[in-house]
Amino acid sequence: MKKNIKNLFDLKNNVVVITGGSGFLGSEFSHAFSDMDAIPVVLDKNEKSLKILEKKFVKRRRKGSFFLVDMNNERKVNETVGLIIKKYKKIDCLINAAAFTMNHMVKSKSNIFEKFEKYNFELWKKSLDGHLSGIFIATKSVAKHMLKRNKGSIINIASDIGIISPDHRIYEPNVKYKYKGVNFNTPISYPVAKSGIISLTRYLATYWAKKGIRVNCISPAGVYKKHDKKFVEQLSQRIPLGRMAKSYELNGAVIYLCSNASSFVTGHNLVVDGGRTIW
């Protein structure tokens, strides 16, 4: 039966689990789903950002739950998912937004931006584990409950450089543009992990196709977060729309993929990159 287009986007009282949900992008998703009258369930290992987000929800009298959990701790994740099911009786959508963050590694003065020829193997493993293992654990845990209802949507956050190679030139000095370069780059493990997320998405989409569970991913281009001005100029020149993404510009994509508006969409990699990957 044909449904009213507004109803297709209706997420009222949908329980949406968001890993890394108090992070830079995760908090945007949490607020967006709350705006749609869904119930965000935020999982994050950063206690400080988790408490800040929870206070905002309490102040605005919005529904939501908040759990301090390391997504690489399978026992703790399973325990937390069990608590969510006990409270809400269901999970409608899972958004895997938790990822290995570079900020901590930079502060600890690790060689995260070392050249490939000298890249530390332990750091390589830690990065891949941080990006991929958490998704594996969360998806495995949540899907068990979705399968009981024959219903659910899973959304993974990949990257445009999971499709194309990062342009190494944007980190290097450029005399023509009076650009001194920056002291960071895209470590080899990052695009490799993001490609893995896209592959995982496609695998699970076909694996659960007849079980009522849709699995998709989103590949954004660089999202602006107070980057060096000259670096932004270099990157923006490689994007047809001429700028980096704004943090809230992924909200529409996750709302779409979570809702019934995308009921016939699975295994898809929704690229939100300002056109970067078509050049």
What sign for the dihedral angle of Cα 20, 25, 26, 27?
positive
| Cα first-last separation, the chain | 41
Query: What average pLDDT does the chain have?
Result: 94
Q: Which residue shows structure tokens 């923006």?
A: 236
CATH superfamily of 5-278: NAD(P)-binding Rossmann-like Domain (3.40.50.720)
Amino acid at 150: N
Predicted confidence (pLDDT) at residue 148 exceeds the cutoff of 50: yes
Predicted confidence (pLDDT) at residue 41 exceeds the cutoff of 90: yes
For residue 23, which of 99, 91, 86 has the smallest C-alpha distance? 99
Residue 84 near residue 143, CB atoms below 8 Å: no
> Can you give the pLDDT at residue 3?
67
Residue 248 near residue 28, CB atoms below 8 Å: yes
Bridge-based pairing state of the strands 152-157 and 213-220: parallel
Average pLDDT over residues 55-61: 97
Query: What pTM did the predictor assign?
Result: 0.94
What does the pLDDT look like over 59-91, one tens digit per residue?
A: 999 999 999 999 999 999 999 999 999 999 999
d(CA 96, CA 79): 17
> Can you give the pLDDT at residue 108?
47
Residue 62 near residue 130, CB atoms below 8 Å: no
Residue 18 has φ and ψ, to the nearest 5°, of -125, 110
Average pLDDT over residues 247-252: 97
